[in-house]
Amino acid sequence: MAGRRPYRPRLDGETLRAFQTRLLRWFRKHGRDLPWRKTRDPYKILVSEVMLQQTQVDRVRGYYERFLREYPTVRDLAMAHPARVREAWEGLGYYARARNLHAAARDVARRHDGSFPRRLAEVMALPGVGRYTAGAVLSFAYGEPAPVLDTNVRRLLSRVFVRRRPASRAQFDRRLWALAENTIPARHAWAFNQALMDLGATVCTARGPNCGICPMRSICAYYGRTSGTHTHFAEDEP
């Protein structure tokens, strides 16, 4: 049986360029100052991404810095006793994350000689690492144009680009991943992906999005539907 063909979103070139340019310009002025953005160490980025799963940014800040003081390198974490790792994680909850992070560090130390892999499939093979987390590590550590699709990015991309949502959740997810991948400017992957998350988290929020200050409002499908002022759409398929 033939494999399913990759979905290719129909993106208007002018709209895509406007989206990229406006997003990067907005990020230069309004990007959040977060401690894990000051490193390109894939281990530290993995720690932050695992902590941010199901936990708010403000709560993670202090835990991230304390955890890295205890385990500053992937080898330090790999050699740690599980009970000590749990103790360092105490208060963040969802302790399966700590177990998976510990197991991932051991995999990196044993199977990759302490060096993080740079291929998507190899990063995703680490315990507890899915497509989003793997993309974040590749993009934020190595500048690779790997898509990141967290809750905030999903909401932003679907509002800006999707005119009619497919009935199937799987089909919708496939389209969003394709949008995330095909909108990244290759030379600015780090800033672009960080900007997607920030705009989604602070402006294009789930409830009460602040469309009035959003740099995307003149090209946004959601804004067009709710204000009646916009007619450009990237997606026009059932």
CA distance 204 to 125: 32
Whether residue 170 is predicted with pLDDT greater than 50 in this model: the reply is yes
Number of helices and strands (H, E) in the chain?
12, 0
Q: Are 160 and 221 in contact (CB under 8 A)?
A: yes
CA distance 233 to 162: 7
In this predicted model, what pLDDT tens digit does every residue of 183-213 receive, in sequence order? Answer: 999 999 999 999 999 999 999 999 999 999 9
Instruction: State yes or no: is 49 an active-site residue.
Output: yes
pLDDT at 228: 43
In this predicted model, what pLDDT tens digit does every residue of 62-101 receive, in sequence order? Answer: 999 999 999 999 999 999 999 999 999 999 999 999 999 9
Domains of the chain are 13-32+147-227 (1.10.1670.10), 40-129 (1.10.340.30)
pLDDT at 224: 80
14, 49, 122, 237: the catalytic one is: 49
pLDDT at 4: 58
Cβ atoms within 10 Å, residue 200:
21
Residues in Cβ contact with 167 at an 8 Å cutoff, skipping those fewer than 6 apart: 238
In this predicted model, what pLDDT tens digit does every residue of 8-57 receive, in sequence order? Answer: 667 788 999 999 999 999 999 999 999 999 999 999 999 999 999 989 99
